[in-house]
Amino acid sequence: MTTHAHRTTAEAIISAVAAERTGMVASLIRLTGDWDLAEDCVQDAVERALMRWPHDGMPRSPAAWLTTVARNRALDLLRRSQTERAKLQQRAITDEMAPSRALETDAQSDDRLRLIFTCCHPALALEGRVALTLKTVAGLSTAEIARAFLVSEPTMSQRLLRTKQKISNAAIPYRVPPDELLAERISGVLVVLYLIFNEGYGQHEDHLAVEALQLARLLVDLMPGEDEARGLLALITFQMSRRSTRFDAHGDLVPMEEQDRSRWDTALMEAGHRQLRHAARSGRPPGPYRLQAQIAACHATAAAAEATAWGTIVALYDALLAAQPSPVIALNRAIAVGFRDGYEAGLAELDALDATALAGYYLLPSARADFLRRLGRTDEAQRAYLAAIHLAPAGQPERRLLQRRLTEL
Amino acid sequence: MKYMMFVVVDPDAAAEAEPSEDDLTIDQWLADVDGRGKRITGDALRPVSDATTVRVSRGQVVVTDGPFTESKEWIAGFDILECDNLDEAIAIAARHPQANGGKLELRPFRTDED
């Protein structure tokens, strides 16, 4: 009983801290312009909370407690420095702490948006945007991010440092972009979040996919009117609804048609549909993320693989190609045509694709191999599987699936 | 924040450029940027065929014709901008006539803090 109560408290503390962390870091960056100082002071406040609260109990307002501790810590550190800049930074913090400027929820969400848009600024290298978003918005440690991207911790630490330095040296503004820039900058944020998702989703250990889901939820909370942000959230939600069936006990990929649909997460699927309905209320024609989410919704609602609405999916791919021409989308459309009109038709569509644009991409030979296998053209399928295996990333689940198919021929 | 904006000519990109009705002439761009007090100075440069490279090797001054570069790109001019932040500099660069068919490189100046 006691142990249980204790654990609930610890969980409550951790979730209270997690809920406040991003906003606190974001507002300290706004006040001081110093990313390292902000992260260190918030980390310090979090550690104190984890030490004190289990004994003293949770404060009435965890947010206010944490904010005060973090800001006082920042003031302490800044007092040690005699520079003009440090004095300005102290002034900014004390002004903000004045009773007339009590913690406002709106101001906090604005700070988190400022943080997200700054981390995803197009003048930063893409890998830097991804790393900084995971570090400051999602609150991952440098070691965790380094592991996720298979680089050493010093390398990741250097990448984060360079990114923060560029923000300061090039004077990238810490703000929510003005209206005329907003659309293009939001799509830049969505690119970063989707990249984080895909980095995690391809793996059996999908921590980054879970982080991306939470980041997408945060963005939708902060910008409820952005239909493409909802589209991305819906897309990620539908894909996550299948996560428990995507890999077998050995960590090998299970193709969608072989997945146990009864184990798909219906609550997540319903959440995905809800986001899509909400996005549709914007009245705007669906953009690339909403269209991809609608495709994912078609798969989610099919009672069996054979019952998939391939006609609808092909039409959605047509719209997606018009909105965002890309050889990979054209490839996926060709595959969908094969399931709608028959595998011969699918092969013809694959042959009509721009092979130069897809050169070196394993999914083209792998799609050919799949249709040839279904048509019983074993020799040709074998050659196509070998070509696909040759191009597939070494040691990855996709490659093992292709090898399994080859041996099953 | 002060930015050096290099105006870069790229013959390959120039061949593919599609003129648009929104493109400003250089005079219109200058009138806009100078009118808002965002430009400290700037000028156009002669091409690399008129350039001279100087270096010192083992105490000897070595003078050669042109720059040491394989690239077809060359710097055709520069402007020094005074902007509130990078977004403002990007907006100014994006309206420069060379943005369509060439490119602009924005480099913040070193400051005393560096």
Domain residue spans of chain B: 2-108
Chain A hits for B1, CB-CB cut-off 8 Å, are 170-171
Contact across the interface for B114 and A181, Cβ inside 8 Å? no
Q: Check if CATH label 3.30.70.1060 holds for domain B2-108.
A: yes
Instruction: Give the DSSP H or E segment for A342.
Output: none
Residue A18 pLDDT: 84
Residue A103 pLDDT: 54
Which of A85, A169, A173 has the CB atom closest to B87's CB atom? A173
Phi, psi (degrees; rounded to nearest 5) at A105? -60, -40
Decide if pLDDT at B58 tops 60. yes
Which of B83, B87, B108 has the CB atom closest to A169's CB atom? B108
Q: Where residue B113 falls among pLDDT bands split at 50, 70, 90?
A: low
Contact across the interface for A172 and B87, Cβ inside 8 Å? yes
Contact across the interface for A172 and B106, Cβ inside 8 Å? no
Contact across the interface for A177 and B87, Cβ inside 8 Å? yes
Higher pLDDT, B111 or A317: A317
β-bridge mates for residue B81, sequence order: B3, B39
Mean pLDDT in each 10-residue stretch from start to end of chain A (409 residues)?
A: 53 83 93 94 93 88 91 94 89 81 64 95 96 95 92 96 96 94 93 93 85 95 95 97 91 92 96 97 95 96 94 98 94 97 97 92 96 96 96 89 93
Residue A2 pLDDT: 44
Residue B37 pLDDT: 96
Residues 148-187 of A with CB under 8 A from B: 169-173, 177, 181
Decide if pLDDT at B47 tops 80. yes
Answer whether A200's CB lies under 8 Å from A148's CB.
Answer: yes
Q: What is the DSSP string of A141-199?
A: -HHHHHHHTT--HHHHHHHHHHHHHHHHHTT---SPPPHHHHHHHHHHHHHHHHHHHHH
Encoded tokens for A128? 């830097």
Residue A7 pLDDT: 52
Residue A251 pLDDT: 86
A302 interfacial to chain B (CB closer than 8 Å): no
Instruction: State the Cα–Cα distance between residues A289 and A310, nearest whole angstrom.
Output: 19
User: Can you give the residue ranges of every domain in chain A?
Assistant: 1-103
- With a threshold of 0.95, tell me whether the complex ipTM lies above it: no
Residue B17 pLDDT: 84
What is the β-pairing status of strands B74-82 and B39-44?
antiparallel
Residue B16 pLDDT: 83
Phi, psi (degrees; rounded to nearest 5) at B84? -70, -35
**Where do we find the tokens 């250089």?**
B26
Contact across the interface for A169 and B87, Cβ inside 8 Å? no
pTM of the model: 0.89
**In Å, what is the CA distance from A336 to each residue of A254, A316, A322, A333, A402?**
19, 10, 16, 5, 19
Instruction: State the Cα–Cα distance between residues B80 and B24, nearest whole angstrom.
Output: 19
A188 interfacial to chain B (CB closer than 8 Å): no
